[in-house]
Amino acid sequence: MAAMDRMIKKGFIAYAKKHYPGEAERIVQRADELFPVLYAKAPDIGGKENLMSYNLDLLILSASFYEASDHRIDGEAIDEIAREIFGKYRFLRGIVNVNRKWQMKLFRGMIYKRYVPYAKLVEEKVARGEWNNTWRIAINPRNTDEGVCFELTGCPLADYARANGYENLLPHMCAADHLMPELVHAKLIRTHTCALGSPTCDYWYVGDESETAKRYANVKMV
């Protein structure tokens, strides 16, 4: 289990102990039993070779606790767990501020360094009929010099959720994407997602004090 998965699992365990103290041990044990069963239903998207595969693991982990708790540890639980986890890193706001051009440049470089090679690898895998409907990435489809911009096509999370009855968890998984950029004074502008029926998910990170952020202030983000 990857570091992110372990962190999220600890969050689910803490949530169970907090909200269902008398049942927490049973819920956790049942979730552990369910995880490999639910994982066996997942499409092959490359495992550890796919740097984004942990997202599908997290959905399946969420589904395991959802089922183990008789659907009580649901989307609202995901929201609470995500807020608590990202809340531990609020100190970063005093260190990193991408409204400063040089820090946004570093942020952009970090993201693109990660995703440009991945985008190439995915195209090679998809051309060979591998990795199923994994996320394909278009870098900077807006052709903008502002912030960080990319678009994802395809979503194994949406595929899995729809095939197995977990559509209600999807919007909450997506909502967590807005918490990370807040830690560095960024705003995620995203107007459509695969979870809501679009063929793509758009991502555009801009400084939260920018004119662009202000322009989108009243636009619903998903």
220 in a structural domain = no
| Count of structural domains, the chain | 1
Q: What is the pLDDT of residue 118?
A: 96
68 in a structural domain = yes
Amino acid at 219: V
- Nearest-Å Rg of the Cα atoms of the chain is 18
187 in a structural domain = yes
221 in a structural domain = no
222 in a structural domain = no
CATH number of the domain where residue 33 is located: 3.90.1520
61 in a structural domain = yes
User: CB-hemisphere CA count at 13 Å for 74?
Assistant: 8
48 in a structural domain = yes
Q: Residue 131: which domain range?
A: 3-215
Q: What is the pLDDT of residue 1?
A: 53
User: CB-hemisphere CA count at 13 Å for 7?
Assistant: 11
Contact, 123 vs 136, CB < 8 A?
Answer: yes
Per-residue pLDDT of the chain (222 residues; tens, 9 = 90+): 567 788 999 999 999 999 999 999 999 999 999 999 999 999 999 999 999 999 999 999 999 999 999 999 999 999 999 999 999 999 999 999 999 999 999 999 999 999 999 999 999 999 999 999 999 999 999 999 999 999 999 999 999 999 999 999 999 999 999 999 999 999 999 999 999 999 999 999 999 999 999 999 999 999
Distance CA(78)–CA(87), nearest Å, equals: 14
60 in a structural domain = yes
